[in-house]
Amino acid sequence: MVWIFSEEHEIFRRNVRQFVEKEVMPHTEEWEENGEIPRSVWRRMGELGYLGIEYPEEFGGGGGDFISTLVFMEEISRCGAMGFPISVSVHTDMASPYLFASGTNEQKRKYLPRIISGEAISAIAITESSGGSDVAGIHSYAKRAGRHYILNGSKIFITNGINADIYFVAARIGEVNERARYKGISIFIVEKGTLGLVVGRKLDKMGWLCSDTAELFFEDCRVPSENLLGLEGEGFHEIMKNFQRERLVISIVSVSASQKVFEDTIAYARERVVFDRQLSKLQVIRHKIADMATQIEAARQLTYYVSLLFSQGKATDKEVSMTKLFTTEVANRVAYDALQIHGGYGYMREFPVERFYRDARVLTIGAGTSEIMKEIIAKRLEL
């Protein structure tokens, strides 16, 4: 067994689990119905130090390691509504890392403390209607105009898009070069209220309901030149680099949420009586549960191993892609079998497995589809 946790990690786990049980789980139904997470919860997480686990103390962070992030994501993913860990992970591990990796000292001092404290919610805006997995096909564009960039285009499926205060937006500078499509993409910091930024409708989704998702439109949006992140035209490489963290975090969420619904399923199978026997005593059910346990444990150990490599700077895109592919596919198989074991009750919204079934489906799509993961793996195998 891969075991990667210190005593400090386990103390941290207990603290996060207590927070989730007392301050998250009692409210998930309300958040799901409202389609968003209250700002007070973001500020509370900031107060507890959960929104800057790995960032330096000088910005208000905890100075921790990626294994601490793993622990945090494992625990909040047990809340029963996957939209919560997804929204939080976008803020902590998919959006703000661009600022920390590529931002100037001035940019970090201006924005990072607000992000870490929960005062400002962040979002990453890459996906467009023309294609999500094809990052090099971005059509949003920016033109330099004196001390500003003029940004035009649109984004879709943006998590935290409605409530975000800071958007990290990918746009192309210059014309599309079909022979070098990855050239010219840059990332900009765009604040809520910037002239020309239009936050569109809140999208009505199948799952992840408490995670607000939006369309964004940029209509001659004037972005100060000092809000360019990193080098002009080099954003594609930053996006590809951060995808490794994003995909690994999605894997952590997938495994932990699967474990929780697995535990719920065992509890149901022990209580449910059919044909004068506990459901858990029927061989066909026992074998389904055994298969689920095996798949979840395999997914967990792969995730732990690659997380350890990632924390040491040794994880490759092949290993991360394998992890994301396997864990998200496992989550969907667990969702199917767990609901099947619940029977008609599993189809009712009063049972957590119904929500998990809806929430799990998009895991094999977001942050790179399973098909893209397989293509990355195949390339690294030199096929």
pLDDT at site 178: 60
Mean confidence (pLDDT) of the chain: 95
Which entry of 32, 246, 319, 354 is annotated as an active-site residue?
246
Q: How far apart are CA 170 and CA 186, in angstroms?
A: 6
pLDDT at site 25: 98
319 catalytic per annotation: no
pLDDT at site 241: 92
pLDDT at site 177: 63
Q: Would the pLDDT of 114 be above 90?
A: yes
pLDDT in tens, 8-49: 999 999 999 999 999 999 999 999 999 999 999 999 999 999
pLDDT at site 136: 78
**Cβ contact 279:352 at 8 Å:** no
Please list the alpha-helical segments (H only) found in the chain. 7-19, 28-34, 39-47, 66-76, 83-89, 96-102, 105-117, 235-271, 283-311, 317-342, 352-360, 370-380
pLDDT in tens, 116-131: 999 999 999 999 998 6
Percent of the chain with pLDDT over 70: 97
Residues 6 or more apart from 163 whose CB is under 8 A from it?
36, 37, 39, 121, 212
Q: Would the pLDDT of 231 be above 80?
A: yes
The average pLDDT across 366-378 equals 96
Q: At 3, is the pLDDT very low, low, confident or very high (cuts 50, 70, 90)? A: confident
- What residue type is assigned to position 96 of the chain? S
Q: Is 218 left (phi over 0), alpha (psi -120 to 50) or beta?
A: beta
The average pLDDT across 346-365 equals 97
Rg (CA), the chain: 21
